Structure 1
Amino acid sequence: MNDKKDAKNNIANVADECPVEHGQVKDFQITSRYHTKSTRRVMRPRHIQMMAISGAIGTGLFIGSGGALARAGPGGLFLGYSIYALLTWSTFNAMGEMVSWLPVDGAFVVYAHAYLDEAWAFAIGLLYTVNNALLVASEISAVCSLIGYWDQSINNGVWVAIITTSMLALNASGARIYGEGEFYFSIFKVLLILGLIVMTFILMVGGNPKHWAFGFTFWNNPGSFAEYVVSRSTGRFLGFWSVFVQAAFAFGGPDFVALTAGEAQSPRRVMPRVFSRVIYRLVIFYVLGVLCVGILVPYDDPALTSGAKGAGASPFVIGVTRLGISGLPSLINAILITSAWSCGLEIFYAASRSAYAMAIGGYAPSFLLTTWRGVPIYCVVGVWLVSLISFMTASHGALTVFTWMTSIVGAGNLVTYFVFHITYLRFRRAQMAQGITDTQRPWFRRHQYYYSIVSAFLYGIIVLTNGFGIFISGGWSISNFIFDYFALALFVIALVAFKIVKRPSMLPLAQVALMAGRSPENWEDEVAEPEPKTRAGRFNRRWLWG
């Protein structure tokens, strides 16, 4: 306990000693915005834990993994997701160190500004806000597709109106109400993926109407790796490589947790536990989830690419249908609707908070700083307006719109996580240059500096090659080129344009303001929490929610 108090005191001393000279304060304007906190710290550890899980478990796993299986085969899908899980683990660690050090509104936009420069902050803030506003529309399209599994007679526009209104209402009601709603929504999602994993095991050992213990049959016939675009070993490699963009859409990342930092209770205690625990749960859900997909369905099943409505496009539903199980697809479809709805709700929150971070940094109109009940209300309304793009499902197929959005958003996530690691590397270099030791850091992962170098390199390679299919003979498509590289182009254009117009420069490492010009009221709620007295309370804090 004394070690924790000493660490907190050391951090406070670091904050006092951070170089925030007159010339640097100008870089972190407007000062009054930084020292007048308008949002409220009302989100509890269980809210944040479930948000971290919920935001990353959605339609990308339950529906999108079917297309990835068809391209890569079960071995390619499993290998691709396993490697991407390691990248996600590294990204959680990097962001976790920064958030635990400085848990403030705006999170990674603030970090990019402080540890890189204003151009990087503007570019990543713009990309993230646009990317996630489009992702909200993607999840709404997925819900419409799922509802279409039962009834296609009602125009999708009706469902879009209902879903967008509900998301607006919950996000405008305050972080506590939103957190409670998301918490209970997420429980269904976690129970679904756990149930599907158990179901797969029962089915594969013979617990099905055909009493067929098929095990890993489909890994042998038609095989572990599919050929994609071209034939033979090159085609199998390309199938495996194509998994990464889909995985980037499906997995999510630490950004959802990071953006709750300014509204979390006791962030310096809670955040390290959230970051250290959540990633293991995600790896279990995702790696085991796609392993189940490859067990249930052969990659050459035409149903995987048929464009079926709703749960009909889910490899889990395709698998149980092949075994002659009736009734279960409708149950899965019902829970998938709550899953996609929940994921969209959380992404809506993330997009609104990143827009708020842009306003704090002076990169967006100042009226976006207006809060109501601690909620940046105009940011919420702005994301809602962008989400209305999902009305395209009224004239185009919902699954078609979902596929368009997946391409744009998956590539956008890759660019975002690349920037996270670049920011982290400079953050650590600044800490080392200013003599910050591990005992002064609230939470850290050993050797993360080197993990981030490797991670940034891999993210960069994947970003540049994610649209490889269009460069192969006969694959060129202007629309696909736009979908694959829109996010990268948006980020680069925003970065370069800001550099040309504003000409910001990076501060020397010894002068980087590690606390980003924030005062303690921004990064600590100063609530003294008593140690839990009961066994249940100790279990809850140590093992369950934090």
Structure 2
Amino acid sequence: MENKEQTPDHSLRRGLKQRYVSMIALGGSIGTGLFVTSGSSISQAGPGGAIVAYIIMGIMVYFLMTSLGEMATNMPVTGSFATYAGKYVDPALGFAMGWNYWFDYAINNAVEISTAAIIMKFWLPGVPGWIWSLTVLLLVFILNILAVGNFGAAEFWISAIKVVTILIFLVVGVLVIFGILGGHATGLSNFTYKKAPFVGGIPSIIGVFVVAGFSFQGTEMIGVTAGESQNPGKSIPKAIHQTFWRILLFYILSIAVIAAILPYTSKYLLGSSITISPFTLIFKRAGLALAASVMNAVILTAVISATNSGMYSSTRMLYSMANNGYAPKFFGRVIKNGIPVYSLIATTVIGLLAFLTSFVGPKIYMWLVDCSSLTGFIAWWGIAISHYRFRRAFVKQGHRLSELKYHAELFPLGPILSLVLCTIVIIAQNPSAFTSWNWYEIGITYISVPLVIILYIVYKIVKHTKLIPLDKVDVKPSTKDHE
């Protein structure tokens, strides 16, 4: 009889193909942040400021992904960066990072299914929203309980819809800029309109860091998939480079097209709904009569994709924590097709309970959403410090970089830059709250920071953990990479 409580690298199935790994990360980071709210960055910092901010944050994300790639190819495990924080820094940090990330996506799943209900009201306003939310949650649960290869295939095709939409948008946008569609050539005049291309100087660019950072979150899912990739030593590095360039080009080119057609002073750049989003408006200007319906359908697929990948990553993180002793052991059990079913059920239930608080206590629901707002940046911070410690320990113990299957370039610049920028973004979430010392706003905005610190301190006190000396860090490469 099959043992259902095997070690992490053998209980899950390596069923994720190379193209699935890339699409999971790509799909997790392309959603409403690009399709609906991308225009706000242009309005805030001007076309030049927005592009500069996205490029800088894109470079930071690249360094983070290469840092994660170096560790993931050396030791490919599910829920990787929490494991790495525990092995290369301090077990208490691994505990805090794991629960931080799980909480982030467990709560965000509730946000996404709530968004799905809002989207469906565009077509069927008479149907209660909770029906659509539960439908999406059930669909995502079914996709995640299937074998991981089936999950990857579903995510691949859902994400492909978004990619095709962006490509069509870019082509249509260029035709509008030159007057081939829409009847009026705008050229690049809006890049020098009034105070453009840079509006508000460096403070505005830093403000866009926050928007760009949220938009790029999800790229770290490459690390979460490492334990189930068919050939992590080859698929992870390839996925890192493909995902980085696709995301950066999609965002930069989309922002450039939007900025060329709509001046930074346009009220439509601040549109909070799909009917007045920059994507919809530009499709309408090109003569696409059903632009709102088409984009609404695309946004719905984006929400389903985000929920699907979020459910996957949070389930694997809980599973990984169980195998590392950070969560109850039964969360580490799997069923015959290699799915950590107890972790999946727990994550689904928490997402459902968080969603239900929107009925019984809207303030509680918004508090949960605010609590999870910074967790992605905290996870990135943890990846950077883990890689910094890993590389230093690797060299200190007499290893050569040639021993690594993949190594991040420009060390230690990459992790240090990532640490600095993540810290800036975390502080810049709501600086005005400190100006007036509004303790309520400070608490709501930054509460995830003390929560992580509390998790770290409590585990440290209970388990008596210490910072692992560099010469004691276990940097031995995994022998379980199926090549």
CA distance in 2, matches of 1:499, 1:507: 12
- Contact 2:25–2:219, Cα closer than 8 Å, also in 1: yes
| Aligned counterpart, 2:217 | 252
- Contact 1:430–1:509, Cα closer than 8 Å, also in 2: yes
Equivalent position amino acid for 1:379 in 2: S
| Aligned counterpart, 2:154 | 181
- Contact 1:272–1:443, Cα closer than 8 Å, also in 2: yes
The one of 420, 433, 452 equivalent to 1:470 is 433
The one of 339, 357, 361 equivalent to 1:375 is 339
Equivalent position amino acid for 2:249 in 1: I
Equivalent position amino acid for 1:340 in 2: V
Partner SS for 2:29? coil
The one of 302, 309, 326 equivalent to 1:346 is 309
Q: TM-score, normalised by structure 1?
A: 0.81
| Aligned counterpart, 2:13 | 40
CA distance in 2, matches of 1:329, 1:224: 29
| Aligned counterpart, 2:49 | 76
- Contact 2:36–2:272, Cα closer than 8 Å, also in 1: no
The structure that has the greater radius of gyration is: 1
| Aligned counterpart, 1:536 | none
| Aligned counterpart, 1:143 | 116
Note closer, same or farther for the CA distance 1:494–1:395 as it changes in structure 2 (3 Å cut). closer
Equivalent position amino acid for 2:453 in 1: V
CA distance in 2, matches of 1:222, 1:411: 34
CA distance in 2, matches of 1:202, 1:144: 34
Note closer, same or farther for the CA distance 1:405–1:195 as it changes in structure 2 (3 Å cut). farther
CA distance in 2, matches of 1:307, 1:276: 32
Distance apart, 1:414 and its partner CA:
1.4
Counterpart check, 1:64 vs 2:64:
no
1:206-217 correspondence runs (5 A): 206-209=179-182, 211-217=183-189
- Contact 1:77–1:240, Cα closer than 8 Å, also in 2: yes
Equivalent position amino acid for 2:384 in 1: H
- Contact 1:74–1:294, Cα closer than 8 Å, also in 2: yes
Equivalent position amino acid for 2:189 in 1: T
Distance apart, 1:450 and its partner CA:
2.2
CA distance in 2, matches of 1:184, 1:190: 10
Note closer, same or farther for the CA distance 1:457–1:427 as it changes in structure 2 (3 Å cut). same
Partner SS for 1:279? helix
| Aligned counterpart, 1:387 | 351
Equivalent position amino acid for 2:307 in 1: G
Equivalent position amino acid for 1:130 in 2: F
1:475-532 deviation line (CA, Å, top 9, x unaligned): 9472x4344212222211211222222220123212211148x6x3xx3235xxxxxx
CA distance in 1, matches of 2:198, 2:355: 33
Counterpart check, 1:361 vs 2:333:
no
CA distance in 1, matches of 2:204, 2:159: 32
| Aligned counterpart, 1:525 | 482
Instruction: Select between 167-176 and 67-76 the one with higher mean Cα deviation.
Output: 67-76
Note closer, same or farther for the CA distance 1:290–1:36 as it changes in structure 2 (3 Å cut). closer
Equivalent position amino acid for 1:524 in 2: D
The one of 31, 49, 53 equivalent to 2:22 is 49
Counterpart check, 1:291 vs 2:248:
no
1:354-380 deviation line (CA, Å, top 9, x unaligned): 111111111111110111121111111
| Aligned counterpart, 1:8 | none
The one of 224, 228, 233 equivalent to 2:196 is 224
| Aligned counterpart, 2:454 | 493
The one of 422, 433, 437 equivalent to 2:400 is 437
Equivalent position amino acid for 1:489 in 2: P
| Aligned counterpart, 1:262 | 227
CA distance in 1, matches of 2:218, 2:296: 25
Q: TM-score, normalised by structure 2?
A: 0.91
Residue identity over aligned pairs, in percent, reads 27
Equivalent position amino acid for 1:511 in 2: K
Counterpart check, 1:280 vs 2:245:
yes
- Contact 1:90–1:452, Cα closer than 8 Å, also in 2: yes
1:246-273 deviation line (CA, Å, top 9, x unaligned): 2222112542111111111122222222
Instruction: Select between 59-68 and 214-223 the one with higher mean Cα deviation.
Output: 214-223
Instruction: Select between 340-349 and 480-489 the one with higher mean Cα deviation.
Output: 480-489
Counterpart check, 1:504 vs 2:465:
yes
Distance apart, 1:226 and its partner CA:
8.2
- Contact 1:421–1:453, Cα closer than 8 Å, also in 2: yes
| Aligned counterpart, 2:388 | 425
Distance apart, 1:449 and its partner CA:
2.2
Partner SS for 1:84? helix
- Contact 1:133–1:386, Cα closer than 8 Å, also in 2: yes
Distance apart, 1:467 and its partner CA:
1.5
